[in-house]
């Protein structure tokens, strides 16, 4: 019995070594990406491409041309979901090129954040809400009844 348990354990270990050893699950998703190749805070090159897969720690992109390993990239990725069903989003990533083959480059993410791109004219009114004074919540009334001037 102990031999079969040992064999099963070693078999699982070899599967893990031979297979995908990444910590983060990768998701095959193709999104538009704009990239800037950065060295010492200077933009060396820029271009457009597509993501091939994403994870929380990195991504694989098709940059449209070969990129050098070891340099930093800034990427702006068009995100497929709207904020509050109104505002388009982009994922902005800073990372380093860790592998490259042809036009494909593997990027290790250093920093990332979501940003809004902008709102189309007809949706702009949906996003704005009337400015309200916090004074009524503190037992007060409007600015005029509290003796405050309008800004």
Instruction: Kindly report, residue by residue over 80-118, the tens digit of the pLDDT.
Output: 999 999 999 999 999 999 999 999 999 999 999 999 986
Q: How far apart are CA 50 and CA 65, in angstroms?
A: 12
Residue reference for tokens 């109104």:
86
* pLDDT digit string, tens, across residues 25-73: 889 999 999 999 999 989 999 999 999 999 989 999 999 999 999 999 9
Domains in the chain (CATH in brackets) are: 22-119 (2.40.10.220)
């Amino acid at each position: 019995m102990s031999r079969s348990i040992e064999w099963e354990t070693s078999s699982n270990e070899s599967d893990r070594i031979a297979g995908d050893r990444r910590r983060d699950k990768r998701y095959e998703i193709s999104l538009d990406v704009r990239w800037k190749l950065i060295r010492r805070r200077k933009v060396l090159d820029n271009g457009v491409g597509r993501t091939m897969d994403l994870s929380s720690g990195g991504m694989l992109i098709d940059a449209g041309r070969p990129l050098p390993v070891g340099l930093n990239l800034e990427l702006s990725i068009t995100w497929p979901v709207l904020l509050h069903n109104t505002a388009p989003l982009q994922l902005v990533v800073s990372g380093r090129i860790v592998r490259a083959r042809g036009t494909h480059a593997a990027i290790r993410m250093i920093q990332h954040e979501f940003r809004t791109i902008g709102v189309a004219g007809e949706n702009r009114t949906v996003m704005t809400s009337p400015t309200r004074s916090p004074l009524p919540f503190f037992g007060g009334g409007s600015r005029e009844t509290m003796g405050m001037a309008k800004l």
